[in-house]
Amino acid sequence: MQLIFEKSVVNGRRALTLPEMNIAEYKLPEYREEIDLPEVAEIDVVRHYTGLSKLAHGVDDGFYPLGSCTMKYNPKLNEAVAAFEGFTAIHPTQPKETVRGWTDALNMLSDYLCEITGMDAITLQPAAGAHGEFTGMQLIKAYHKYNKDFGRKQILVPDSAHGTNPASANMCGFEIVTVPSNSEGGVDIEALKTLVCEKTAGLMLTNPNTVGLFDRNITEICEIVHKAGGLMYYDGANLNAVMGICRPGDMGFDVVHLNLHKTFSAPHGGGGPGCGPVGCKKALCKFLPLGVYGSKLPKDTASKSIGKVKSFGGNFLVALRSAVYIVTLGADGLLDASELAVLNANYLLALLKDKYPVAYDRICMHEFVLTAENIKHETGVSALDISKALLDFGIHPPTMYFPLIVHEALMFEPTETESKETLEYAADAMLKIYDKLYTNPQELHDAPISTAIGRVDEVQAARHPVLKYNK
Amino acid sequence: MKFLKTHEWIDVNGKKAKVGVSDYAQEQLGDIVFVNLPEIGTEVVIGKAYTDIESVKAVSEVFAGCSGKVVAVNEELLDAPEKINEAPYDSWIAEIEFTKLQDDLMDEAEYKSYVESQQ
């Protein structure tokens, strides 16, 4: 497919015509004459982007079991409400009494998210999950500083954690200490005991963790960290497994971030806008960013604020979609969603595990991790090859090579919104691929063959990226 | 040349040591696309990563097997990270003036059986 730049063949062709100016032309001092923007007609722009959209694969196109990302269906009702004029045609500096719907929605969502997570207050400002992690880490930093506990400079992070965890803590000036996993994929308790000390600021944990297992020792883990004077941070990436079943606040966590695009069905919009709310327990509420919503906020909320992390209420229309999702499902519906997410993952796992080895052979939560390590050893076919082959079945690949503690990892998260038939179709595709491992591995190395672009040269792309169009 | 359980090698020469990653490590990582060379003067501590390398699969931390200070880096790897895949034992990442070596370093035979036990 041609680039939009390559479709620009006639100088001066425009997608729209502006009326003649009735003021004198003003030349920008920094204006670059040679800037080479594409010049095409409106129909060319429309066809270009419609064409691109046909080459993409989203949740609306087919199965998307990308582990740890919770690619659930985004109900169109969310979109309909987010398009209401009362929400789109307002401005955050309008007098408060003229935007009651806006503040009501933010208060309602904040209350619900506090109830779901067991937190006392929540900020909706962070623009995405990693931004939420950064905000949460700032809260922990502010807490220790407020208590004049200046030596707490270390954040403990399990070796199975999302890469954003150590990155966020590091950006806040913390030193990272890695906690090894035990044979069940959970936190190694004995190792944790030796790692906590007077320098411990906190532990960042995902539960269920990134291998899709609930850490059975969670209360003991929290106790160890709290006794050492540290705080517990909950990475909400996997909350979809436990809504209405258990709450991070009750497990012992002090700070929580959520990914509304995962658990609460806001779109995964190619880099944004997003919303990564951060909730905390009472002792930390005073440090929250200014502009906290909710009907039952502790009195000192944001009184010692770390400052704003985003303008106004954050990305309101994203938050609104999640508010619609929550009221549509209700408390029973959210519980159903989590239970079905776990059931779906276990069903798919049961269909696959006789052929593909499981990294940790236990009843899983909402996702599970297979390992193609032996397959690669025996046949030369890698996790990457298997993933690429799935594309030819119209299925988006699972997450590959993550978590890092599992070699040749394939991490599937079907979510609750997929039917039994879809799961069976995916399992059947995986079994067909399995048969080819031993009969025709070359076909798998060559996959995909049905997509617009076949196997891309990832090495060349990473070593010599072409980031600029040159004629 | 000695080896670490985390699949790096260390080649001691007097008070200095060159460090890199093992053949098994490069095999597991796959095609390496970027080596984040440490700055000269960086303090290196036993048990703590001194840098990281990026492959098409992931970014991985790298350990040195000694404590000390970085005195030289292999700048050739900036433009040709694939050298680690092609010749892991010739492709040193950093040279370290060390004050202490890690106690549990393995020799080649020990490392070989360690790798086999991991598979």
- Residue-range domains of chain B with CATH: 2-104 (2.40.50.100)
Query: CB count, 10 Å around CB of A260?
Result: 29
For residue A271, the model assigns a pLDDT of: 61
Per the CB < 8 Å rule, is A458 touching B60?
no
Domain with CATH 3.40.640.10 in chain A: 78-324
Residue A314 burial (C-beta neighbours within 10 Å; 0-12, 13-18, 19+) = buried
In this structure, are residues A253 and A233 in contact, taking their beta carbons and an 8 Å threshold?
yes
Residue A137 burial (C-beta neighbours within 10 Å; 0-12, 13-18, 19+) = buried
Q: How many Å lie between the alpha carbon of A234 and the closest alpha carbon of chain B?
A: 23
pLDDT along chain A (471 residues), means of 10: 91 87 86 82 95 91 95 96 95 91 96 98 96 98 98 96 94 96 92 98 96 95 98 98 98 98 89 89 97 96 96 92 98 98 98 96 96 95 97 96 91 98 98 97 96 90 87 78
Q: How many Å lie between the alpha carbon of A375 and the closest alpha carbon of chain B?
A: 12
In this structure, are residues B43 and B92 in contact, taking their beta carbons and an 8 Å threshold?
no
For residue A142, the model assigns a pLDDT of: 98
Per the CB < 8 Å rule, is B82 touching A463?
yes
- Chain A hits for B60, CB-CB cut-off 8 Å, are 404
Cα distance between residue A12 and residue B14, in whole Å: 70
Q: Which amino acid is at A181?
A: S
For residue A15, the model assigns a pLDDT of: 84
Cα distance between residue A230 and residue A215, in whole Å: 19
Structure-block tokens of residue A107? 């208060």
What distances in angstroms separate CA A95 from CA A269, A292, A371, A409, B39, one per listed residue?
Answer: 31, 17, 57, 53, 54
Q: Does residue B33 belong to the interface with chain A, where contact is any CB pair within 8 Å?
A: yes
Per-residue pLDDT of B40-66, as tens digits, reads 999 999 998 999 999 988 888 999 999
Q: Does residue A377 belong to the interface with chain B, where contact is any CB pair within 8 Å?
A: yes
Q: Does residue B60 belong to the interface with chain A, where contact is any CB pair within 8 Å?
A: yes
In this structure, are residues A383 and A401 in contact, taking their beta carbons and an 8 Å threshold?
yes
Cα distance between residue A452 and residue A468, in whole Å: 22
Structure-block tokens of residue A276? 């990564």
Sequence-distant (6+) residues with CB within 8 A of A163 are B59
Q: Does residue B57 belong to the interface with chain A, where contact is any CB pair within 8 Å?
A: yes
Per the CB < 8 Å rule, is B28 touching A407?
yes
Nearest Cα neighbor of B9 from B110, B117, B118, B116 is: B110
Query: CB count, 10 Å around CB of A207?
Result: 26
In this structure, are residues B107 and B75 in contact, taking their beta carbons and an 8 Å threshold?
no
- Chain A hits for B54, CB-CB cut-off 8 Å, are 462
Per the CB < 8 Å rule, is B56 touching A407?
no
Instruction: Note the ipTM here.
Output: 0.79
First to last CA, chain B: 22
Structure-block tokens of residue A416? 């609750």
- Chain B hits for A463, CB-CB cut-off 8 Å, are 33-34, 81-82
DSSP string, A126-178: -SSHHHHHHHHHHHHHHHHHHTT-TT--EEEEETTS-THHHHHHHHTTPEEEE
For residue A399, the model assigns a pLDDT of: 96
How many residues are recorded in chain A? 471
Cα distance between residue A135 and residue A77, in whole Å: 30
Task: Give the H/E segment covering residue A103.
Answer: helix A100-117
Edge-to-edge order in the sheet of strand B32-36:
B32-36, B51-55, B59-62
Structure-block tokens of residue A141? 């930093």
- With b meaning 16 or more CB within 10 Å and e meaning fewer, what string describes A406-445? bbbbbbbbbbbbbeeebbebbbebbeebbebbeeebebbe
Cα distance between residue A1 and residue A4, in whole Å: 9
Nearest Cα neighbor of A161 from A103, A208, A220 is: A208
Q: Does residue B88 belong to the interface with chain A, where contact is any CB pair within 8 Å?
A: no
Per the CB < 8 Å rule, is A458 touching B56?
yes
For the domain made up of A78-324, give the CATH fold.
Answer: Aspartate Aminotransferase; domain 2 (3.40.640)
Strands (E), A268-419: 278-280, 368-371, 399-400, 409-412
CATH class of A331-461: alpha beta
β-bridge pairing A409-412 and B2-3 = unpaired
In this structure, are residues A205 and A187 in contact, taking their beta carbons and an 8 Å threshold?
yes
In this structure, are residues A208 and A134 in contact, taking their beta carbons and an 8 Å threshold?
no
Rounded to 5 degrees, φ, ψ at B117 are -70, -20
Q: How many Å lie between the alpha carbon of A144 and the closest alpha carbon of chain B?
A: 25
Task: Give the H/E segment covering residue A205.
Answer: strand A200-206
Domain with CATH 3.90.1150.10 in chain A: 331-461
For residue A99, the model assigns a pLDDT of: 93
For residue A229, the model assigns a pLDDT of: 98
Average confidence score pLDDT of chain B: 95
Which of B28, B60, B81 has the CB atom closest to A463's CB atom?
B81
Task: Give the H/E segment covering residue B115.
Answer: helix B108-118
Q: Taking the model in full, what pTM does it have? A: 0.91
For residue A309, the model assigns a pLDDT of: 96
Per-residue pLDDT of B54-97, as tens digits, reads 998 888 899 999 999 999 999 999 999 999 999 999 999 999 99
